[in-house]
Structure 1
């Protein structure tokens, strides 16, 4: 037992010594960096980011200035907290910031970073960006898929109207997740998740778990000597999520392959058929003249990107804006106005901006135009206040669900 304790003590001393030497060497080779708060050994400034990281960074920037340097464990970071600083990073010097850090959870869930959002900046990423802008999320594809969005918004308004007539409360966030999930699902694979509530629940659970796992603090991403260790037990959960997603996508891809073979056999000429995003991706994968060959893993990872980026983000934005949509400032949210960057800016800016704006604006218009809202599960919140506390997560969810009773104030317009 004493010998075992000696090994443990030796290991701790060795780790501490290496950490000290690394810090000493770093301090001697330090270049001209922005101001930085006092760091702790090994963890750097991680202790300063609690409880909600973006609020903690805002407080640091108020104290140290618009451009600060922090160490997330052994990972150096620059925080730009003013429009001018953001423009320098995202526009003037964007080529130096165009790569994404390799995060263990994201890398595993996306089959080794074979997706688009977190792929390294290079030929494959450029090919996928061009593909998104010209075909997958371009104006023509969005126009062809407009009936899908129109139908899902109509179903959403019909649901709210039924709740209003019955005087029942609505979990606004939950219903918005449902409508955006169904919209994205139909655009991707021509299936409406909520036709099968078990499958719908599974899809929503997969998205929720993906966001949770990719947003959790992982020691292996930030502490250099933990890189190949799984001290927090993430690997088992990551494997479970990816295996379930993989099984779902294999089934959907197989069904699409059968449908494509059937169409080729029938060789029917019924005019231009509206293709979902998965059909477009499979067309490109089979195109021998394509600049880049897409693998099945590329396709599945890209679909995961669309589900994760298109469901929670749009739903949470609409949920927050519906209660705080004063519209005092008219800002360009597409990336040219650096006071507000919901879609990023520059080369790595979100290619789904046009789709997101259509979904969010139409959903918000339906909520505001057609209904008044009584706060609380029973609609009897006399002071009319809403808890706007922010929760933890990559997409900045609410800390508490927004539960309201809708009150119809006019008949929904047939044209929405």
Structure 2
């Protein structure tokens, strides 16, 4: 027997022994405790084989059989999947503190500077401090409003481009244009300037950001069977390290440029704000370069594809339902008129547009499976034992289709919100696209501002026609899973300018 084969068999035996010991110890510690119902799994892999390319749909189907609080074993990791508003309220409100932490994942380790970012940092004093900094210093209403002229400028450039395309009656790739707009707005807020596609790496700025997000969303066997993590069987760790190096070099350059900058009159971007706290013994935040780089990446990932994905789905639903589009345009004509473009001050008066966006969030949540929570201690919910270290996944996509919460749940019907107080801010658990509780998204207000403004402007300024005489009911609405879930195929449409000026 060769030494390589002997080494392989040694690993197999050690992994098997580790698995048997872990299962034995787990069964002893949780003996006679009632776990939530769930499907049977295989040794080592548990229920991983039941999850395909669209795991939110797979988990929804399983929950219909096993219930809204469902137990799975993903590899060696116990997992709880939550699929109803009532169950979500138990985990995110009644027992919020117990589930306020995050599990240690390979992606967070390699891409997020050992979980120093806000989204994946474990619950504790460090997370509380950076959450406070992000909420008060980076994402406050005052800071969001300071970027209002920039948002208007960037959106104006997009409208001008589409207006020129409308003269030639050519189809516009709205998916690509909205994605670029979102990236430009995000970069100007975070870095103070836009970046050309090749500024980050030869692959392109947005491509590298998307690769990092894709790697973060890809199920990693090492997260579920830790003893095989060093083998990197999928090659994910190698790719994460390469992407992390690209990010790190780029962020170092950005921080150096900001440190050396002498322009004191410009609007402070996010890097400027964070640098003002770096190394200061008086600051309660006490952050260093690695913290800043982790938070920079968090802000980019949390603002670029998230807003673009919601805008893309809202426009898709409006084109698929032209009668709804006409109602939105009629409201815009009444509130804004056809002599000017939409201003941010108009947004609160657009009630029907708000209903359209709520319905979009319900059917196409930003992240169909929220980032995983981790139980910090044993807990009992609805009579079920939730073990310490369980990974809790809230299936927001399934909650948006719960027949006990929504009539005719598969139908796009904004009017369901007429006279309803349900909103998206985390208080109503049948609609939680931004999460809820301690780990709710701190950038919600910024995201809502961008989404409402862009959708309103594109619908107000243009009529839209699908290309090649495609009928609205023929529009492909297939989705593609990731941290966000965008359209699988780009949204193409032919614009006609509507305004009188």
| TM-based fold match above 0.5 | yes
1:156 touches 1:179 (CA, 8 Å); kept in 2?
yes
Residues 232/63 of structure 1: CA separation in 2 closer, same or farther (3 Å cut): same
1:370 touches 1:411 (CA, 8 Å); kept in 2?
no
SS in 2 for 1:95: coil
1:383 Cα shift?
A: 5.5
Aligned counterpart, 2:61: 59
Correspondent of 1:393 among 482, 494, 500:
482
Q: Which runs of 5+ in 1 are unaligned?
A: 264-269
Residues 222/131 of structure 1: CA separation in 2 closer, same or farther (3 Å cut): same
Give the Cα–Cα distance (whole angstroms) in 2 for the partners of residues 283 and 2 of structure 1.
59
Matched, 1:244 2:250: no
Aligned counterpart, 2:397: none
Aligned counterpart, 1:281: 274
Correspondent of 1:322 among 307, 312, 315:
315
Residues 384/407 of structure 1: CA separation in 2 closer, same or farther (3 Å cut): farther
Aligned counterpart, 1:266: none
1:332 Cα shift?
A: 0.8
Residues 213/197 of structure 1: CA separation in 2 closer, same or farther (3 Å cut): closer
Larger RCO (CA within 8 A; separation ≥ 6): 2
Give the Cα–Cα distance (whole angstroms) in 2 for the partners of residues 167 and 384 of structure 1.
22
1:318 Cα shift?
A: 0.7
1:323 Cα shift?
A: 1.9
Aligned counterpart, 2:19: 19
Give the Cα–Cα distance (whole angstroms) in 2 for the partners of residues 69 and 329 of structure 1.
33
2:426 touches 2:437 (CA, 8 Å); kept in 1?
yes
Give the Cα–Cα distance (whole angstroms) in 2 for the partners of residues 239 and 63 of structure 1.
40
Residues 209/138 of structure 1: CA separation in 2 closer, same or farther (3 Å cut): same
Aligned counterpart, 1:300: 293
1:6 Cα shift?
A: 6.1
1:328 Cα shift?
A: 3.1
Residues 45-87 of structure 1 deviation map (CA, whole Å, 9 limit, x = unaligned): 1111113110011111111111111111111111111101000
Aligned counterpart, 2:255: 253
1:345-356 mapped onto 2 (5 Å cutoff): 345-356=436-447
Give the Cα–Cα distance (whole angstroms) in 2 for the partners of residues 224 and 128 of structure 1.
29
1:166-315 mapped onto 2 (5 Å cutoff): 166-193=168-195, 196-199=196-199, 202-260=204-262, 263=264, 274-315=267-308
2:100 touches 2:438 (CA, 8 Å); kept in 1?
yes
Q: Which deviates further from its counterpart, 64-73 or 160-169?
A: 160-169
2:316 touches 2:491 (CA, 8 Å); kept in 1?
no
1:362 Cα shift?
A: 0.6
1:75-224 mapped onto 2 (5 Å cutoff): 75-193=77-195, 196-199=196-199, 202-224=204-226
Give the Cα–Cα distance (whole angstroms) in 2 for the partners of residues 109 and 2 of structure 1.
37
Q: Which protein is richer in helix relative to its size?
A: 1
Give the Cα–Cα distance (whole angstroms) in 2 for the partners of residues 294 and 221 of structure 1.
28
Give the Cα–Cα distance (whole angstroms) in 1 for the partners of residues 440 and 294 of structure 2.
19
2:279 touches 2:288 (CA, 8 Å); kept in 1?
no
2:191 touches 2:269 (CA, 8 Å); kept in 1?
yes
Q: TM-score, normalised by structure 1?
A: 0.90
Give the Cα–Cα distance (whole angstroms) in 1 for the partners of residues 301 and 61 of structure 2.
29
Residues 274/380 of structure 1: CA separation in 2 closer, same or farther (3 Å cut): same
Runs of 4+ with >6 A deviation: none
Residues 306-345 of structure 1 deviation map (CA, whole Å, 9 limit, x = unaligned): 1111001110111011122452343311111111211110
Give the Cα–Cα distance (whole angstroms) in 2 for the partners of residues 300 and 7 of structure 1.
39
RMSD: 2.1
Q: Which deviates further from its counterpart, 151-160 or 382-391?
A: 382-391
Aligned counterpart, 1:363: 454
1:103 touches 1:221 (CA, 8 Å); kept in 2?
yes
Q: Which runs of 5+ in 2 are unaligned?
A: 318-355, 357-412
Give the Cα–Cα distance (whole angstroms) in 2 for the partners of residues 5 and 247 of structure 1.
39
Give the Cα–Cα distance (whole angstroms) in 2 for the partners of residues 175 and 114 of structure 1.
32
Give the Cα–Cα distance (whole angstroms) in 1 for the partners of residues 60 and 81 of structure 2.
10
SS in 2 for 1:256: helix
Q: Which deviates further from its counterpart, 47-56 or 82-91?
A: 47-56
**Matched residue count:** 399
Residues 16/150 of structure 1: CA separation in 2 closer, same or farther (3 Å cut): same
SS in 1 for 2:87: helix
SS in 1 for 2:71: strand
1:197 Cα shift?
A: 4.2
Aligned counterpart, 1:267: none
Give the Cα–Cα distance (whole angstroms) in 1 for the partners of residues 9 and 190 of structure 2.
55
1:185 touches 1:192 (CA, 8 Å); kept in 2?
yes
Residues 114/162 of structure 1: CA separation in 2 closer, same or farther (3 Å cut): same
SS in 2 for 1:100: coil
Give the Cα–Cα distance (whole angstroms) in 1 for the partners of residues 5 and 152 of structure 2.
67
